[in-house]
Amino acid sequence: MKILVINGPNLNMLGKRDKAQYSARTYAELLDMISKKADEMKVTVDFYQSNHEGAIIDRLQLAMEDGTDAIIINAGAYTHYSYAIHDALEIINMPKIEVHISNIYEREAFRAHSVITEVCSHSIVGEGFEGYLHAMEVIKEALGE
């Protein structure tokens, strides 16, 4: 099984961002944590991070052709307004799990709306880095692995 983990704008700045919302852990620590879980689950994980909307869309489209079986996406700020990412996710026919480190529903009003939730199979919010691991378990169950 191959899982694509996409992280949007500013997630590469984990460890430098608001520690009350995102913890002091770094982006490298997040990738290491996911990689260890992937090894335990005996799955392959590809990571992609971009601060550019079009690049994220290009990577989503590539996922339909490169053997990807499922997607975990934290679209960052694009979550709240990118109908282009919404549309790219909508055409992809595989499990797609939306993840947010913080609980977007308990933050600023503009963060409480996700335009991608309706085109994702599942949404996980407010579980910190562990939300990504939870998403991996959800995918494993969804694919019957």
Q: Which residues are catalytic?
A: 22, 100
Is beta strand 44-49 parallel, antiparallel or unpaired with respect to 2-7?
Answer: parallel
Q: What are phi and psi of 102, to 5 degrees?
A: -95, 170
Task: For the beta carbon of residue 87, count every other beta carbon within 10 angstroms.
Answer: 14
Identity at 122, one-letter amino acid code: H
H or E stretch at 48: strand 44-49
- CA-CA distance, 112 to 124, in Å (whole number)? 13
Least Cα distance to 74 among 4, 8, 3 occurs for 8
Cβ 41 vs Cβ 101: under 8 Å: no
